[in-house]
């Protein structure tokens, strides 16, 4: 199901935003009060998948493009992966110490490895099916990785590598929980797979909004119901993050009603066994990507979505608006005070203060 849809000089903008507290309540302790941004590069491009490797920000994009921005050299490297006449769209990206992996959406699904050292590109997995649509990809370690896609039968499409990405195998349906009819995943920001150690969480949306949990790197699975909005094709959980093995946050909403702020945020303190709604009527509506702030003790969360960049200091109960930029799809932290965000026509660096 379709979803929410060279070296260059650096164009730099510095902007600061004064926070606005949505309900005029003070958070339980001090946190960020402002944010500055600088634009790393601008282009006619759509980026929903980024991965940070030391001084490089790798990205997968539309029109068969991928590349990285070197934060030290302030330079951009970009390449195309040409496959017949296909215009590939990469919404999933992951990496090991040696390679970066890019997975295209749509039919055929094509998964490539890119050597960090030489930029040599190799096709490592291909799947042809009119229903195929891969949404997200992550690695547990240098050898083992996972990608999730929409059901082609009655379960999620899950492919796993155990040899560093050289080969990938699709899990048989009898090894996975059955999806409800119309239950799917969203390729919004490469954040509907979360990994902490051996623990893995996948999130769904559509007719059902659920969490799929594996304690053993994809060998066994169980499914947990959530109170997030569901029952419509474009509603559900679009994004998730875990601060540690116990504390997690899921968000999303109704993509067709992006300002609806009810039943779109939930948290867990028991590793995803139970989920509780939070921040009802507060902060954002539709969320494309949420991430915990490093060193925030599981209380500080950043969201990008339909209403700009939002920040919570108390686990999602209250939210502060740091930016009205609605053209960002995904965000990842470099350290506590610095993050990279990407979206429609740009990649930017955020500095929180």
- pLDDT tens sequence across 200-255: 999 999 999 999 999 999 999 999 999 999 999 999 999 999 999 999 999 999 99
Section 14-34 average pLDDT: 48
Confidence of residue 164 (pLDDT cuts 50, 70, 90): very high
Residue-level pLDDT at 101: 98
Above 90 in pLDDT, residue 28?
A: no
Residue 312 has pLDDT above 60, yes or no: yes
The pLDDT value recorded for residue 300 is 98
Q: What is the mean predicted confidence (pLDDT) over 56-67?
A: 98
Q: What is the pLDDT of residue 83?
A: 87
CB 236 within 8 A of CB 227: no
Q: Residue 15 pLDDT > 50, yes or no?
A: no
Residue 30: which pLDDT band, with cuts at 50, 70 and 90?
Answer: low
Check pLDDT > 90 for residue 81: yes
Range of lowest pLDDT (4-13, 27-36, 93-102, 166-175) = 4-13
- Give residue 307's pLDDT: 92
* Res. 134 pLDDT band, cuts 50 70 90: very high
Distances (CA, A) of 343 to 41, 50, 66, 250: 11, 10, 14, 20
- Segment 66-90 mean pLDDT: 95
pLDDT of residue 5 exceeding 70, the answer is no
pTM of the predicted model as reported, rounded to 2 decimal places: 0.91
**167 — pLDDT class (breaks 50, 70, 90):** very high
> In the predicted model, is pLDDT for residue 11 greater than 70?
no
The whole-number pLDDT of residue 21 equals 36
pLDDT above 60: residue 9: no
Mean pLDDT, all residues of the chain: 92
207: its two tokens = 């007719």
8 A C-beta contact, residue 304 and residue 322: no
The pLDDT tens digits for 244-294 are 999 999 999 999 999 999 999 999 999 999 999 999 999 999 999 999 999
């Amino acid at each position: 199901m379709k979803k929410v849809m060279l070296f260059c000089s650096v164009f730099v903008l510095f902007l600061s935003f004064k926070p606005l507290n949505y309900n005029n309540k003070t958070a339980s302790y001090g946190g960020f009060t402002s944010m500055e941004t600088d634009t790393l590069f601008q282009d006619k491009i759509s980026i929903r998948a980024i991965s940070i490797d030391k001084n490089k920000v790798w990205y997968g994009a539309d029109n068969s493009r991928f590349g990285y921005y070197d934060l030290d050299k302030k330079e951009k490297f970009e390449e195309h992966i040409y496959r017949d006449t296909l215009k590939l769209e990469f919404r999933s990206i992951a990496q090991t110490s040696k390679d970066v992996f890019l997975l295209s959406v749509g039919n055929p699904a094509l998964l490539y490895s890119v050597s960090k050292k030489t930029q040599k590109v190799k096709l490592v997995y291909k799947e042809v099916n009119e229903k195929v649509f891969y949404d997200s990809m992550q690695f547990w370690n240098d050898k083992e990785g996972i990608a999730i896609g929409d059901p082609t039968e009655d379960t999620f499409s899950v492919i796993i590598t155990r040899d560093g990405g050289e080969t990938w195998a699709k899990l048989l349906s009898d090894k996975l929980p059955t999806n409800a009819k119309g239950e799917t995943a969203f390729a919004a920001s490469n954040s509907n797979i979360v990994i902490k150690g051996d623990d893995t969480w996948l999130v769904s949306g559509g007719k059902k909004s659920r969490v799929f949990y594996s304690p053993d790197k994809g060998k066994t699975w169980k499914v947990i119901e959530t109170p997030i909005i569901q029952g419509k094709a474009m509603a559900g959980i679009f994004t998730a993050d875990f601060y540690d093995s116990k504390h997690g946050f899921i968000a999303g909403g109704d993509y067709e009603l992006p300002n609806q702020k009810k039943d779109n945020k939930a948290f867990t303190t028991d590793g995803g066994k139970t989920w509780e709604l939070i921040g009802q009527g507060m902060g954002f509506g539709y969320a494309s990507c949420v991430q915990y702030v490093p060193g925030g003790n599981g209380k500080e969360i950043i969201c990008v979505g339909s209403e700009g960049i939002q920040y919570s200091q108390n686990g999602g109960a209250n939210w502060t608006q740091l930016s009205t930029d609605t053209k960002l799809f995904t965000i990842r932290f470099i350290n506590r005070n610095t993050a990279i965000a990407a979206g429609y026509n740009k990649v930017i660096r955020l500095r929180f203060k």
